[in-house]
Amino acid sequence: MNVTIRKGYLLSSSRKAFVFGLKLLSVILISLSPSQLAAAEKFDGQFIAAEVARAIASPDNTVEIIVAQPIDLVFDALLSRLAEYSESISDISFDNSNSQNSAAVGVGSQRITTMDDGKRLVQRIIIFEPPNTFAYFTDMAKSTVSVPIGYSIGYYQFSELQDKTVKAEVSVAYKPSSRLTAFLVRLGFNRALSRDFQKAEEYLNSLARED
């Protein structure tokens, strides 16, 4: 098993993250409709861009997995096939009505994760560059699951290694909904992140290679 959890800085420096954040801000502001910006309130484009930069430079949690599969398959599995390896997820669907291309997943799409109990987790795609990168903002206002966080950002990077394996790096930034339980929330989030991606790694490596 090659799942590693670490905190602190990724390869990107703070300066690179700052520059990236400025570029991302312009993309997010363009991609969000006026109604989305109004609904977001304090989670506006500028705030989300800053949190993506934080997820890159100084994440709250990170996970790395190594998979012996083509990069396109790994990208798709972590984006849209969670129900195939998660015990608590029954379905993944996408609402592309606000996507840059309404016929396909893209920036502005909403990933809707339906849990076994019927509750939903809604995550808006804010970066989409297949097969190398995607990121989402978890919209707790639209979600019906009970999660003790105010928001979260997930940033995914995929790279091909020389031995024909793929490294997937996932970094997250979030804010617990209560300061009193922040330590427990971070501990639980860390464990859940490790468990979920360990299952993803095991599932993907159990498949016959498709290339």
Is position 46 within any domain?
yes
User: Does residue 176 lie in a domain region?
Assistant: yes
Decide if 211 is inside a domain. no
Question: 189 in helix, strand or coil?
Answer: helix
Q: How far apart are CA 133 and CA 194, in angstroms?
A: 20
pLDDT at 62: 93
Give me the chain's average pLDDT, please.
82
Name the stretches of the chain with pLDDT < 70.
Answer: 1-42, 210-211
DSSP string, 144-156: -S--SEEEEEEEE
Domain count, the chain: 1
What gap in Å lies between CA 35 and CA 33, rounded to an integer? 5
Per the domain annotation, does 65 fall within a domain?
yes
Q: Could you count the other beta carbons within 10 Å of the beta carbon of residue 114?
A: 17
Q: Is residue 157 one of the residues assigned to a domain? A: yes
Residue 140 belongs to domain spanning: 4-206
Question: Considering the domain boundaries, does residue 190 fall inside one?
Answer: yes
Residue 90 lies in a domain: yes
* Inside any domain, residue 36: yes
Question: In 7-25, which positions are buried (b, 16+ CB within 10 angstroms) versus exposed (e)?
Answer: eeebebeeeebeebbeebb
Distance separating alpha carbons of residues 18 and 118, to the nearest angstrom: 39
Give the CATH number for residue 157. 3.30.530.20
